[in-house]
């Protein structure tokens, strides 16, 4: 790897985060940049920005449901919104940060499994038991995951990552920061690429 990592902020309840999660590692591999996955709680961010979940908004909601469907079709990945969307994702994010402390590669595998369950299979991933069950399917220990989700240290870690994101200006998902430059949105991944390749403009 050459160059600083690309920070990839997302919420497990973010459909554009799901889409980006399927694209960003290929970009990192192409450009020789590590991708640091940083799941956050967008609900906490929204208290700072006064935003509300996109899909619940008049006019903006229906537009984005259509846009997500066509974006997923174009990328060749399945997409549907889960039951009860938007979801509370503390359990998923805590499990991620716990595992990330041991292996970022394993944590990314868990993140993709959770996002795919949510947005390909329309599973509501809010419950700790659901997160543990999805972890078990990829070979993790469900009991360990449940303990990690309940562990105050992982709650605190998630709080810190979210606060740190807000301090860095993160207000949406996905949100990327590379070499100090922020890019918001799945649709800005080509710009992010061009920025790195060209060294900025």
Please name the residue ranges forming H helices in the chain. Answer: 15-21, 24-31, 42-49, 60-75, 90-100, 104-119, 128-137, 142-150, 152-167, 189-198
HSE value, Cβ hemisphere, 13 Å, CA-based, for 99: 29
**Which residue in the set 48, 103, 143, 160 belongs to the binding site for a second copy (CB under 8 A)?**
48
Give the nearer residue to a second copy in terms of CB position, either 50 or 152: 50
Give the nearer residue to a second copy in terms of CB position, either 63 or 143: 63
Which part of the chain contacts a second copy (CB under 8 A), choosing from 6-14, 35-43, 137-145, 181-189? 181-189
Asked whether position 73 contacts a second copy by CB under 8 A, the answer is yes
Asked whether position 74 contacts a second copy by CB under 8 A, the answer is yes
What's the CA gap between 187 and 93, in Å, rounded? Answer: 23
Q: What distance separates the 2 farthest-apart alpha carbons in the chain?
A: 49
Give the nearer residue to a second copy in terms of CB position, either 6 or 99: 6
Q: Quick one: tokens of 87?
A: 């979801």
Binding mask 109-148 for a second copy (x = CB under 8 A): ----------------------------------------
What's the CA gap between 188 and 77, in Å, rounded? Answer: 18
Which part of the chain contacts a second copy (CB under 8 A), choosing from 26-34, 51-59, 90-98, 132-140? 51-59
Asked whether position 78 contacts a second copy by CB under 8 A, the answer is no
Asked whether position 197 contacts a second copy by CB under 8 A, the answer is no
What's the CA gap between 41 and 195, in Å, rounded? Answer: 27
Bridge partners (DSSP) listed for residue 184: 175
**Which residue in the set 45, 111, 131, 149 belongs to the binding site for a second copy (CB under 8 A)?**
45
Instruction: Provide the 8-state DSSP code for 180.
Output: T
Which part of the chain contacts a second copy (CB under 8 A), choosing from 97-105, 113-121, 137-145, 179-187? 179-187
Q: Report strand pairing: 6-10 vs 35-39.
A: parallel
Q: Quick one: tokens of 132?
A: 């543990």
Which residues contribute to the site for a second copy (CB under 8 A)?
45, 48-52, 57-60, 62-63, 66-67, 70, 73-74, 166, 169-172, 182, 184-185, 187-188, 191, 201
């Amino acid at each position: 790897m050459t160059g600083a990592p690309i920070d990839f902020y997302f919420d497990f309840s973010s459909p554009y985060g799901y889409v980006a999660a399927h694209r960003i590692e290929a970009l990192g591999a192409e450009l020789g940049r590590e991708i640091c996955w940083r799941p956050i709680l967008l609900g906490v961010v929204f208290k700072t920005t006064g935003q509300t979940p996109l899909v619940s908004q008049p006019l903006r909601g229906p537009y984005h449901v259509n846009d997500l469907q066509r974006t997923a079709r174009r990328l060749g990945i399945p997409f549907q919104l889960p039951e009860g969307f938007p979801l509370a994702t503390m359990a998923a994010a805590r499990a991620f940060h716990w595992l990330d402390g041991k292996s970022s590669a394993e944590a990314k595998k868990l993140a993709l499994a959770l996002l795919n369950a949510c947005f390909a299979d329309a599973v509501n991933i809010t419950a700790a038991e659901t997160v543990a069950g999805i972890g078990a399917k990829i070979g993790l220990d469900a009991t360990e995951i449940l303990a990690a989700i309940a562990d105050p240290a992982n709650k605190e870690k998630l709080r810190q990552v979210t606060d740190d994101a807000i301090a860095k200006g993160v207000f949406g998902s996905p949100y990327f920061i590379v070499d100090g430059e922020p890019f918001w949105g799945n649709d800005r991944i080509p710009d992010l690429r061009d920025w790195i390749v060209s060294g900025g403009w």
